[in-house]
Amino acid sequence: MRKQIAAANWKMNLSLTQAEKLVTDLQNQNFSIAENQQVLLAVPFPYLIPVKQQINTSHVEVAAQNIASTTNGAFTGETSAEMLNGISINYAIIGHSERRLYYFESNETLAQKINRAFEFNIKPIFCCGEPLEIREANTQNDFVEIQLKESLFHLSEAQMKGFIIAYEPIWAIGTGKTASSDQAQEMHAHIRQVIAQKYGAEIANSVSILYGGSVKASNAADIFGKPDVDGGLVGGASLVATEFAAIISTLKK
Ligand code: PGA
C-alpha cells in the first residue's frame, strides 16, 4: 500500500520554546504509527535542527517548508536543497499556495525547485489546488491538471514513483471551510488519472495524494477514509498536540 502521510505545516508560527513544547506534547500523546505511515513536521528553518534532535522515532521526520529554485550563489535570504541535505533533511513542501500567492512562485519556478530537491535527495511534497473563482466556474480539474503538467511532467518514472502531492483547494485553507470528502475524492481521483495517463497506473497508484485545507480531528477520518486520499497536510490543527495526534490516528493502516 502506498504511504499514508500526516504532514504538519507550522507555517511561520511558534517561538522556539513553544515549538519544543509542541513536540514534547505530541510525543506524549498516545498514538502509534504503522509501517505504511509517515508523520512529517514542516517547521520554520531555524527549528529544523532543534526539532530534529528532539524527535525520537524514524516514523516522524522534519521537513522544510520551501527550498530555493537555484543551486547556490548570490541569492540573499534563500536556502538551498544542498544545505538542507547537509543537515539531513529529507522532505520539503514545494509550491504551497501561500508561496505562489505572496512570493509569485510560478509553475515553471516550482519545476526548478522540484529538480533541486531531487538533486539533493529531498522528497518534495508538491502542493496544487485552485482558488475560489476557479471552483465556482467548475474548471478546477483543468486548473490542477495544468499545475501538475507544468511542474512535474518532466520527471522520470523513477522520480514519480512514490511521489507526494498535496491537493489544497485555496478556498479551504485557514478558512474553516473544508472541501467535502466527496469533493476531495473526486479531485484526488482526477490527479491520479492525470498521472496514470503519462506514467501508467502502477506509478500513479504509488503516489501519495494528501488533502489539505482546514483538516481537523473532527473531519480527518471522513476525508482520509476516501480511497484516493492518502492523508493530509495540516496547518492550524497541527499546532495543537491533541488535535494532530488524533489526525495521525485516522490515517489508513
Ligand atoms: P489549514 O492549512 O489546515 O490551516 O487550512 C493547510 C495548509 O495551508 O497547508
For residue 47, pLDDT beyond 90? yes
Three-state secondary structure readout of the chain: CCCEEEEEECCCCCCHHHHHHHHHHHHCCCCCCCCCEEEEEECCHHHHHHHHHHCCCCCEEEEECCCCCCCCCCCCCCCCHHHHHHCCCCEEEECCHHHHHHCCCCHHHHHHHHHHHHHCCCEEEEEECCCHHHHHCCCHHHHHHHHHHHHHCCCCHHHHCCCEEEECCHHHCCCCCCCCHHHHHHHHHHHHHHHHHHHCHHHHHHCEEEEECCCCHHHHHHHHCCCCCCEEEECHHHHCHHHHHHHHHCCCC
User: What is the CA(38)–ligand 1 centre distance, in A?
Assistant: 18
Average pLDDT taken over every residue of the chain: 97
User: What is the CA(40)–ligand 1 centre distance, in A?
Assistant: 14
pLDDT of res. 30: 85
Q: Is 240 exposed, middle or buried (0-12, 13-18, 19+ CB in 10 A)?
A: middle
Which pLDDT tens digit goes with each residue over 75-127?
999 999 999 999 999 999 999 999 999 999 999 999 999 999 999 999 999 99
- Per-residue pLDDT, averaged over 22-45, amounts to 96
Active-site residue (options: 96, 105, 130, 188): 96
What number does CATH give the domain 4-248? Answer: 3.20.20.70
Closest protein CA for atom 9 of ligand 1: 235
Residues of the chain with pLDDT > 90, as a percent, come to 94
User: What is the CA(73)–ligand 1 centre distance, in A?
Assistant: 32
| Domain ranges for the chain | 4-248
User: What is the CA(11)–ligand 1 centre distance, in A?
Assistant: 9
pLDDT of res. 176: 81
- Per-residue pLDDT, averaged over 59-72, amounts to 97
- Note if 154 is an active site residue: no
Report residue 19's pLDDT band, with 50, 70 and 90 as the boundaries. Answer: very high
Q: What does DSSP assign to residue 38?
A: E
Ligand 1 pocket test, pick from 10, 43, 224, 233 with the greatest ligand atom count within 8 Å of Cβ, gives 233
Closest protein CA for atom 3 of ligand 1: 235
Q: Which atom of ligand 1 is nearest to the CA of 166?
A: 9
pLDDT of res. 1: 79
pLDDT of res. 117: 98
Residue showing cell 489539505 = 212
pLDDT of res. 116: 98
| CB-based pocket (< 6 A), ligand 1 | 9, 168, 173-174, 212-215, 233-237
For residue 180, pLDDT beyond 90? yes
Entry pTM: 0.97
- Note if 168 is an active site residue: yes
User: What is the CA(131)–ligand 1 centre distance, in A?
Assistant: 14
For residue 31, pLDDT beyond 90? no
